[in-house]
Amino acid sequence: ALVWAFPMSEDRSLYNAAVGFLERYRAAGEFARLLDRYYGPASRSNFVNLTVYHARVTNRLPSYQNLFELAARQVNLDWRLLAALAYQESYWDPKAISPTGVRGMMMLTEDTAKQLGVTNLLDPAQSVLGGARYLRDLYDRLGYIPAPDRTWFALAAYNVGISHLEDARILTQRQGGDPNKWNDVAARLPLLEQPRWYHRARYGFARGTEPVLFVNRVRTYYDVLVKLDEEQRAKSRTEALKLKIPAI
């Protein structure tokens, strides 16, 4: 429910009980997690150029959508999540090269590519399937984390590595947070940029702000793509029904 309504009465016990419930919910961190799950990515989309994204969904995604769908079926993931990840990595440019030297649609490193059997990083089919297999492997290795947070952790690990992610989870637990909640861990990941904290971490320094922004952006792209895809499906169903209606 977005709104609670209470009857006009001198008896405020129900209202007071509701206020108390919300305060306890907020204090436990559940209120923030609920807001993040349903409103978080969209509310933080100010750093995302959605105008350009919508244009590329129209003029660039159709060239590669089949690759995302095929790879998603092979690894049992949502193709729209893979597409959102690829857009964050390369803007769906199969020849993209980053300043750090990683290349291709899914921006795999040379070492990761070798482990996945990817022989040509600039081949979009190989890159997409390799990235899908890598994300699925991370998702499976994080099986102890409940959904939907497990997906956000897998995306973070895709960006920063599972070892640094584990350092952040340990730090979160030491500070009284929940190491299996993305919101709690996301609040600690940037601490791994500070000597005070990364000197105590097993795997040392990490650019902890990057995976937080990375996950937020992928979630935004994913949410938009899901909405557009569902609208297109609904439109197609409507058109199909019109074709089945006999002429009068």
Instruction: Report yes or no: 200 and 59 within 8 Å, Cβ to Cβ.
Output: no
On the CB side of 88, how many CA atoms lie within 13 Å of its CA? 28
Question: Is position 89 annotated as part of the catalytic site?
Answer: yes
Helix boundaries (H) for 44-78 = 50-59, 65-75
Q: How far apart are CA 194 and CA 235, in angstroms?
A: 50
Three-state SS at 31: helix
Helix (H) and strand (E) counts in the chain: 12, 0
Residues 6+ apart with CB under 8 A from 109: 102
Instruction: Report yes or no: 76 and 62 within 8 Å, Cβ to Cβ.
Output: no
Which residue is listed with tokens 């997409």? 128
Catalytic residue among 10, 89, 110, 166: 89
Q: How far apart are CA 59 and CA 233, in angstroms?
A: 18
Three-state SS at 97: strand
Q: How far apart are CA 136 and CA 151, in angstroms?
A: 10
Which residues form the catalytic set? 89
